[in-house]
Structure 1
Amino acid sequence: MTLALIAGAGDLPVALLDRLPARPLVCALEEAEPHVPVDLWFRLERLGGFLRDLRARGVTQVCMAGGIQRPGIAWRHFDWPTVRLLPVMLRALSKGDDGALRTFIAVLENHGLRVVAAHDIVPGLLPAAGVLTVTQPGPPHRSDALVGDRCLHDMGRRDSGQACIVRDGRIVDEEDRRGTDALIGRNPGRGGILFKGPKPDQDRRADLPVIGPGTARGVIAAGLDGIVIEAGGVMVLDRDAVIATLDATQKFLWVREVTR
């Protein structure tokens, strides 16, 4: 088994490389900005040739990790192996992010590559359900979590994001393409929660939400009371640091069982 890691932006690719027993082949779209050294860059217009290259290198498994902005298409860059994929690619680009991702996974699998999740190759990224901090959520936070759960379900149907801020039973703001850090940063206040989870029926082998120490620091700076994440649906990077950061300021991290 040879693993290829398609790396995007953010801390997840870094965390995987730190914890994997052997370094995978690290690949990235030319438009991506990964924080790890890249062995093989590729363009979407040369996807067919890229997949052939992976097979020639003995790659049998692919893991996608990190954020990737939807790339543009430059027709002059197409190679012949990718021209045959053009109808599939055009259908994918006409869909939302989740639909496009599902199509990309299907293309990989049709070329004999097994797509694996980050939390499968590095166990322990998905924490067990429960409150992981000393500080516990109170009744208002539990009510806010119900509101956040409904909000994320609606956002998932719109394929629009994976996080929201809830305060006093009201949705303050929803995540957009700028991401969770931007959502937190533009909504300072007193109290409330950051609620984060996967989209309904999401293929959990890719684009699963992530929080880390930076998320904890942002929540503290924004004056929120804590973080609520969906059990089995959000990866936590450097969990000990996240918990210590929140404990130091009497904030909470609640890994909440799904109720819908």
Structure 2
Amino acid sequence: MLALVTGTGALPAVVAGAQSSPPLVCALEGYAPDGLQVDHWFRIETIGTLLHTLKQRGVTDVCLCGAIQRPGFNPLRLDARTMPLVPTIAKAVKAGEDAALRAVLGLFETRDMTVRGAHELVPDLLPPSGVLTQVRVPDDIDLQVQAAEEVSIEQGRVDEGQSCVIRSGQVIAREDARGTDAMLRGLLERPVKPMPPPGDDPFAAAMDFVGDMLDDAADWLSGPVAEARAQPGGGIFFKAPKPGQDRRIDLPTIGPDTARAAVAARLDGLVLEADGVMVLGRDEVVRVLDEAGLFLWVR
């Protein structure tokens, strides 16, 4: 029997709908999946009871799918079956998000449950390699992609997000805990302006520039980065798994909302790592990008 341990979003329903028999749907409290009836709610403080319940129900395979932000933890709500697991979980959390996820996988595996990736259960979630849109990839994109790959590796080393935006060879946005679509929307919310000419009052001009920088809340944006972000459009969205991550869990995902956000940000296109990024609603993603003149390259 398959159990889905879910967060929010459309992915859990896609996985459930592709199975020959309905899976058991277990959702983290506060993170209901879209379009699915939840069979069992749980908290981090009661994960021991969740594991016991799954064994009692005859679960043999588990798929962790859906989005969550780092949930809160209240020691006062720990139950008896979770108490023995606290040292293992606490040690993993201190080591970073990836270590914590691997520790969670281990909890299922030590109870003879096989952890399956969403892309294993629904292979079509991984798009084929190549350019999927009618819009072709520009000839001068190699340097942009190289810069994006370097940023992706750097983000992976510090256990951060899985995507970024590159414009004019500069990284102008990085994914954080808020997710991919929030990163893209942020490109429209607070553009950073390049240093204006001093005019008659250079002190006032400098103060205005500093105010803009503070309002943007991104002190790493300066010089050529600020100028790149202030451009009206262009650039690429890049998404790939973190180096060395366990691909059975937290594999990057995009969908139609990501495509629309990229269009709104007036990017040139999207580049995804082959066999490393799932695409929900692929036909709709391609349609949105083609209509807006953006490319989708799986490389």
Distance, in Å, in 1 between the alignment partners of 2:182 and 2:45 is 31
Q: Percent sequence identity over matched residues? A: 46
Contact 2:6–2:66 (CA under 8 A) maintained in structure 1: yes
2:259 corresponds in structure 1 to: 216
Distance, in Å, in 2 between the alignment partners of 1:192 and 1:133 is 17
Structure 2 unmatched ranges of 5 or more: 189-231
Distance, in Å, in 2 between the alignment partners of 1:55 and 1:186 is 43
1:8 corresponds in structure 2 to: 7
Q: Which letter does structure 2 place at the counterpart of 1:242?
A: V
Distance, in Å, in 1 between the alignment partners of 2:61 and 2:25 is 12
2:213 corresponds in structure 1 to: none
Residue 80 of structure 1 aligns to a residue in which SS? Answer: coil
Residue 59 of structure 2 aligns to a residue in which SS? Answer: coil
Pairwise CA RMSD: 1.2
Contact 1:32–1:69 (CA under 8 A) maintained in structure 2: no
Distance, in Å, in 2 between the alignment partners of 1:43 and 1:186 is 31
- Spell out, residue by residue over 1:66-121, the C-alpha distance to the aligned partner (whole angstroms, 9 max, x if none): 11122222222222221111110111221321111011101111111110000101
Contact 2:69–2:178 (CA under 8 A) maintained in structure 1: no
Distance, in Å, in 2 between the alignment partners of 1:115 and 1:18 is 18
1:20 corresponds in structure 2 to: 19
Distance, in Å, in 2 between the alignment partners of 1:18 and 1:52 is 25
**Structure 1 residue 63: Cα displacement:** 0.1
2:158 corresponds in structure 1 to: 158
Does 2:143 match 1:143?
A: yes
TM (norm. structure 2) is: 0.83
Residue 30 of structure 2 aligns to a residue in which SS? Answer: coil
1:31 corresponds in structure 2 to: 30
**Structure 1 residue 254: Cα displacement:** 0.2
Contact 1:133–1:252 (CA under 8 A) maintained in structure 2: yes
1:207 corresponds in structure 2 to: 250
Structure 1 unmatched ranges of 5 or more: none
2:293 corresponds in structure 1 to: 250
- Spell out, residue by residue over 1:190-241, the C-alpha distance to the aligned partner (whole angstroms, 9 max, x if none): 1101100100001000100001111111111110011000001000111111
- Spell out, residue by residue over 1:27-47, the C-alpha distance to the aligned partner (whole angstroms, 9 max, x if none): 011132322321100121121
Residue 28 of structure 1 aligns to a residue in which SS? Answer: strand
2:75 corresponds in structure 1 to: 75
The count of corresponding residues between Structure 1 and Structure 2 is 255
Q: Which letter does structure 2 place at the counterpart of 1:32?
A: Y
Does 2:186 match 1:186?
A: yes
TM (norm. structure 1) is: 0.95
Distance, in Å, in 2 between the alignment partners of 1:124 and 1:171 is 31
Does 2:162 match 1:119?
A: no
2:269 corresponds in structure 1 to: 226
Residue 84 of structure 1 aligns to a residue in which SS? Answer: helix
